[in-house]
Amino acid sequence: MPKMTTMKIEAGTDKSGAAESYGALSFHGGQVVAICGPTGSGKTRLLSDMERLSQGDSPTRRKVSLTGVDEKLVESGFAVGRISQTMQFFLDLSVDQFIEMHVAARSANTDKSAVIKAANNLAGEPMSGSQPLATLSGGQARALMVADLVLVANAPVLLIDEIENAGIDRHAALEFLVKENRLVFLATHDPLIALRAHKRLILGEGAIKQVIETSPGELQTAAKLEATEREVKELRRRLRYGESLG
């Protein structure tokens, strides 16, 4: 039986240097965990600790460990895949060349058309394999990063910063990301994404203040939000095609 991906976070300190109160937290493959909190509360910092598997040497002094994952992958530094808001493609390659090069670097056997198809499903506006990376729109670029990270890198832990601002279909993305034995962390300000997660971490002053499990009552709120969202989506469609919104 394959081992379960487990990420353990041992408490560090908040921005003032005071100790965090949770002792240690463990998260497992198959879970989606939202990371919430006001701007400056330490969400990005937490993602950095997770990405680097910090060993008490980051400003937060947290210790993060990953087990149940191929050790070679952990050593190579690519067990945890992160997509942040500031990332862009800089390489002077076409979409096809980019995927081919990545597949070769990983010695993977992923079909590149599957990656493009998945990216198009997330982005809405289709890209072609011959298109240079530099000509992709913001949403297309982010969609390709996500599709590539999931299908080619197949990272056991994914960290995604504010997917709601990435210009991609959030629902399609959530469905695409969640997989048995993959652990997904989403830093978000979006209530629907937070409620779609199994649990959420609340940050403040640089510390993890609370861990909240999504309750049945909150799932009802999520269903209401989804209905509203569908309504807005329809209005947006009508707006785009010059129809009356009255």
- Site residues for other proteins per CB under 8 A: 48, 52, 55, 57-58, 76-78, 81-84, 86-93, 98, 101-102, 105-106, 145, 148-149, 152-153, 155
Residues in the chain: 246
- Among candidate residues 46, 168, 146, 7, the one with its CA nearest the CA of residue 89: 146
Are the C-beta atoms of residues 189 and 162 closer than 8 Å to each other? Answer: yes
Reading the block at residue 196, the tokens are 């779609």
CB of 133 to other proteins, least distance (A): 9
CA-wise closest residue to 163 among 180, 144, 142: 142
Cβ nearer to other proteins, comparing 98 with 176: 98
Min dist. Cβ of residue 145 to other proteins (A): 5
Amino acid at 44: T
**Phi-psi map region of 168: left, alpha, beta (phi>0 left; psi -120 to 50 alpha):** beta
CB of 93 to other proteins, least distance (A): 8
User: Is 90 or 241 the residue whose CB approaches other proteins more closely?
Assistant: 90
Nearer to other proteins, 86 or 244 (CB): 86
Closer by beta carbon to other proteins, 89 or else 194: 89
To the nearest whole angstrom, how small is the minimum distance from the Cβ of residue 102 to other proteins? 5
Nearer to other proteins, 47 or 203 (CB): 47
What tokens does 100 get? Answer: 């081919």
Token reading at 108: 């993977």
**C-alpha–C-alpha distance, residues 184 and 32, integer Å:** 5
As measured in angstroms, the least distance from the Cβ of 198 to other proteins is 24
